[in-house]
Structure 1
Amino acid sequence: MKKKILYIDMDGVVADFDKALENYDSEINNRNHVSDHIQATIRNNKVDEICEANDDFFHNLPLVNGAVDVVSKLFEQFDVYFLSTPMWNAPHSFTGKRIWIEKHFGEVASKRLILTHRKDLNIGEFLIDDRICNGVENFSGIHIHFGSEKFPDWEATYEYLISIID
């Protein structure tokens, strides 16, 4: 039986991007004194500033709890690929993501990283992503919105995927 294709986003899904940002700016995820639009703009500018200035930022992202154990099990059930969007103005993010995947997932993840700004161009059954941008909103398969009420963590995500694998 042919395995179904499962794409897994990196930042915010297996790598804790927000926690890494807090190492550079402890208030970056807690700016509540301005409107949502202004807050998002300020945060996005600060994220760009941090990532562009730190060549090893993507090499050292902490893991999301449960990610390695669950994703390792998913490799047995699915044809798994990591599908991530690098930062265009931080070219080291391309290499950093590649190094990070190998460091945490080893040989099983060899040549299974796809870097793109258009996730909807990839064909597969499932996409686990914490955001709805970069083509996620037009992905032809099922988007599993990681971090949402229905999929708050890896345990819930795994249970869902195993329940519909047939």
Structure 2
Amino acid sequence: MKTIAVDMDGVLADVYRQFIDMHFQDTGEQLDTKTIRGLKEREAFPLLEKHVHAPGFFENAPLIPGAKEALKQIHEQYKVFIVSAATEFPRSLQEKQSWLNRHFPFIPWQQMVFCGSKEIIRTDIMIDDHFKNLDAFQGKTYLFTQPHNENASSGRHLRVNSWEELVGLLATNKQKKPFL
């Protein structure tokens, strides 16, 4: 069975929505994803450090639309590992595991990988929204579109804009009917 490494923040968890909502709560200023397009997260969200250290930030992030249903279908065809850089923000370790257990109970704890650098990951496929993680990866790569990477050329990484699109591509690669 082929293996897939799936990033959490920006691929499963909608941390952009979380940052935008928290920024509005703190400042009354409504950020628009069009105005932050192409900016690194720390540039787009001036209160990022405050928010990622706030209790509940990672545990309460909303789901990316279609992620739960798609991952359930992918899980039937591939061995799925959730790979998340979590050691930079120590509070996130417990919160991310709790979030995954709540939203993706079909992913066992043995397939949850919390790390610093993802360069050691050796699955067949990696899905991530950051070039720094995909560039060092040896297998097939999918770049999940987020505002910080929208203006950049995807290079050798296949860009995907939604879970529905990704599931269709994975099904095509397996030469079967699309899942959705």
**TM-score, normalising length from structure 2?**
0.78
User: Which residue is equivalent to 1:114?
Assistant: 113
- Separation (CA, whole Å) in 1 of partners of 2:34 and 2:68: 33
Structure 2 unaligned residues grouped into runs of 5+: 151-157, 176-180
Higher helix proportion: 1
Please state if 1:49 is matched with 2:50: yes
RMSD in angstroms over aligned alpha carbons?
2.6
Alpha-carbon distance, 1:46 to partner = 2.1
1:11-160 equivalences in 2 (<5 Å): 11-26=9-24, 27=29, 29-30=31-32, 41-43=42-44, 46-52=47-53, 54-86=54-86, 88=88, 90-133=89-132, 135-147=133-145, 150-160=159-169
Alpha-carbon distance, 1:150 to partner = 3.9
Describe the SS at the equivalent of 2:10.
Answer: coil
Kindly tell me: are residues 61 and 80 of structure 1, through their superposed partners in 2, closer, same or farther at Cα, counting changes over 3 Å?
Answer: same
Describe the SS at the equivalent of 1:83.
Answer: strand
- Separation (CA, whole Å) in 1 of partners of 2:42 and 2:73: 38
User: Which residue is equivalent to 1:7?
Assistant: 5
Alpha-carbon distance, 1:86 to partner = 1.5
Kindly tell me: are residues 127 and 28 of structure 1, through their superposed partners in 2, closer, same or farther at Cα, counting changes over 3 Å?
Answer: farther
Runs of 4+ residues deviating >4 angstroms: 27-34
8 A contact 2:2–2:124 mirrored in 1: yes
- The count of aligned residue pairs is 159
Structure 1 unaligned residues grouped into runs of 5+: none
**TM-score, normalising length from structure 1?**
0.84
- Separation (CA, whole Å) in 2 of partners of 1:28 and 1:9: 27
Alpha-carbon distance, 1:142 to partner = 1.0
8 A contact 2:66–2:164 mirrored in 1: yes
